[in-house]
Structure 1
C-alpha cells in the first residue's frame, strides 16, 4: 500500500487534490495522510531571490482556526465516504514547512493543488518541488482523467529516475499512450537523443504504446505551449530548471 501525503495550508483546500487521491485509491488502495499547515505570511516565506531561505515560515494564526478544523472534518468525511485509509497530521507551529519536508522523506508521493497551495504562489510551489524528498504530483482544481503520458527527458539521472518512479507508483497508468519528449540540442553527430539506445530500451519495456519525439521549441514558453495543446496530458519530469517549472505552472495552471 502506497503512503500518499496531501497538503493543505491555512484555509486552502484543494478539491482537485482530493479527486486525484480518490482516483488513485480506485486503482489500488492507498494510505492518505492529510498534512495541515497554518496560514502563513508569504512575505517571509521560502525564497531563492536573495540567495538564502529563512529557517521557518512565521504563522499568522498560531492556533487552529475554525475553518481549518472544518477542513480536517471534511478530509475525514471524504476519506470515510470513499473507503480510503487515512491519517491526519497537524503542523501548527513555526517550523511547519520543515516538518512537511520531513514527512516527504517517509511518503511514496505528495499531492499538491497547484491553484490552492499558498494561494497558487508558483514560487512556493517550485521551492517545494525542489526540496521534497519524494515524488510530487501537482494537480489543478479541474482536470480530466489523464489520456496520455508525457515523459520529459533531458538525459539526466533525475529525468530517468522520475520515469522509473512513475512506473513503480502507477503501474495501472503505464498502458496509456506515452511520449518520450526531448527538447534539448540533438547529438551533433547524428541528431540522436542523449544515450538514446539506453533510454529507448528502458521506456520500451515500461510503456506498451510509446512514441519518441525530439522537439524544436521556441525559448521561453515553447514547452508549455506545446504541452497545453495536448488532450489531458500527465507530465512526468525530473529536477528540471526552475524557469521551466515556473513556465509550465504559469501557462498550464493559471
Structure 2
C-alpha cells in the first residue's frame, strides 16, 4: 500500500492541500540536478525562503489565547497553507505554518527540496528515515514548548499537517508527554508504524480530525484508513472523514470542516 505514497511533489509554494494534479510533479521522474534547479528554480527559491523566515503566520487580531501549528507537505513551504488558514481564521488564534528545511531526498536521486525527513522507499516494508522523523517530531514539540513559554498552555495548542507534514505531527502527538488541544491529519499516514504505538506517552484524550480523499493517488486512501485503524486504540477521540473523489489535495468542504474542528477544540476563552 505504501507503494503509492509520495510519488508526487508540489512545484510551487502554494497550498499543497489545494493543488490539483496539474500542479504536481512526479517525485520519481528522472530529472538532472541542472534541470531541477534551472527549470523550476526549486533550490534557489526555497533556499532563499528558508533563509528569510522560519514560518508563515496568521497573527491574531484579538487577545491571543490559542495557537495552531500546521506542517506542509513534501516540496512545499508554509506560505500556501498560511493563506488557506487566513480564510478560516478565528481572531483569537495564531496560525503558524513552519517551513521544512531544504535537504536531499533519496528517492528523488538526492535532489534537494523542502522536506521534514528523508524519503528512502515507497515500499510498505521498506526503510524509513527514523532519525529524521524523530528529529522533525522533536522540533515540532519544541515549538509547542516555546508557545507555552509565551503563555499559551499546551491544551490550547493544536498541531497538524498535510501528507509528510501530517506524519510528523502524528508522531509528535503520540510521543509528546503532555496533553495538547487537538490534532489535524490531512491526507497522511502513520510513520514508523512497526514500533510507534509502543512509544506513546502522555494524555491522549485530545480530539483528532483525520481526513483523506478517496481518489488520492499519492498517499493511498487505504493507507490513510489503515493508519486510522491502528491509532484509534491510543487516540480514542479520533474522527476519520473521507471526501469522495478528492485526490492528494484539500477542498473548500474539507477546510470548512477543519475550521469547525478548530473552533470546537479551541473555543474562544475571552
Q: What band does the TM-score fall into relative to the shorter chain?
A: 0.3 to 0.5
Q: Which has the larger radius of gyration?
A: 1
| TM-score normalised by length of structure 1 | 0.33
